[in-house]
Amino acid sequence: MRQIGENTVGTNCYNFLVANRYVLSHVAKGQKHPLLDESWKNGQLVEVWAKSLIDARIAVVDRFPATFGFFVEKLAVKGKDGEERLENEGAAA
């Protein structure tokens, strides 16, 4: 799991599954991506601590830009009770 931000007062936890379309393409052709590990073909859990969903999305896009092939497969918000709620699916990073 990768983490962005810190669990501080006033922040919420947003869980993103982030994958990379270039790694997917290379693996489909039986090749290795020159820079990224093959694990990026599947969604990697990225836990983001932010004050709002907008701030969380900005943090993910800054760390994992679409221009480098990254995209968000799923997004869930962890509530105060620890339960996850699905917020968005299949969105571009």
Mean predicted confidence (pLDDT) in 61-75:
95
Flag whether pLDDT at 11 surpasses 80: yes
| Domain with 42 in it | 2-89
Please provide residue 19's backbone torsions phi and psi, each rounded to the nearest 5 degrees.
-125, 175
Q: What is the mean pLDDT of residues 9-22?
A: 95
pTM: 0.80
Label residue 89 by pLDDT band (50, 70, 90). Answer: very low
As for how many domains the chain has, the answer is 1
> What residues form DSSP beta bridges with 18?
44, 72
Average pLDDT over every residue of 15-21: 96
Question: Nearest 5 degrees, angle CA 20-CA 4-CA 51?
Answer: 120
Please check the confidence at residue 79 and state whether its pLDDT lies above 80. Answer: no
With a cut of 80, say whether residue 41 has pLDDT above it: yes
The dihedral through the CA atoms of 44, 2, 93, 37 has a sign that is negative
Residues in the chain: 93
